[in-house]
Structure 1
């Protein structure tokens, strides 16, 4: 068998990972004991894995998650109101399949954004399209798109995204255009996509942020009644990490 021409044919068919696996296996003595079916199965597995990793990389790039967070690193020991059972349920991404939402509240520094990014990362791993934006940046993007005549295109892009993460919602009140944009975004999610919203502002005050009773009812009715809620509490994790770092330096100097 002509080994290298065979590998080049595989590459020509767009099966680069299979070609690499073919060459690797030819150099392994243990591969001589494999049946033809096992050989083919291993080659196909390598190609499928490579393609899955590429798609995951593209989804992660488009998501633009603010933090490099993964669910496996979640701190479930520090008492901050994060229910272990609910968190494990959310990591299955069943809420995204059901077009439900997640609302994460709590004071600054308790890990709201980190948790949102970790769940967004898991959604990317499970094959869902994700897009992350801090609320001020999202509304700025919408205003710019409106001024440039491409608001409809941006809205269609957001509508096609299965999980839209809006981080740091509030406390600044929305203006009239922002209220209408938010209602359209929320309405587009109905039965087709999920929202993950983090905020320092208690849900009971979200009407104040929206600033219009009628639109507030329309927006919140679509979100709150189909949402899982996490209310984090406790001291700022950033402050705790800073104190730990200072203590570590002090101990190192004493030694």
Structure 2
């Protein structure tokens, strides 16, 4: 074992010891799959495949740490502008992953509810069918929550919510003088379990939140952690460093 292999487990334990406060809801912007592929002289699809493997590891780490809700920014409304072959591959990858959820013993054993947030009207019908089947298969679980943001854009989401509120006022189901943040949240997520975001993590050395969950994150003044590693090489140490930022914020506020 090299020196790094000897030091990292010790550093990981040290970070674990530092993190006294664990966020209930972490939102992750999984950035850097394509740049990772270019750096390693492999195809873009290989970068996305490596990123999917990282996602699985991160979900296991989060569960070990007791994080109840994870929201992953997997495909934005802007991503539709990418090369059609890349978009098609990503949709096939999403179909395969959502299909696996129905039979995954870990999902049922740990009672993980899987949900999609985003504009469903923008997704292909066959992908949407598989997503909804996975949602139905886990609908009765409430121990952990995994939210996948597909065809998602924060401003687009708020526009849809505004339309819903206006329609409710017109129909008489919403009183204009009784509109509260809770009213807006209902129309934002329509019953989906999405508590306030405690921590946003973005990989790939980009320092912006890219219109991700503006209502639940910015409104909650959540902690934000930007890190350099591309998503495929994101480590548990990086996750713990992010949680340490949240822990420090909690301590300062107290």
| TM-score, length basis structure 1 | 0.31
Q: Which structure: larger Rg?
A: 1
| TM-score, length basis structure 2 | 0.31
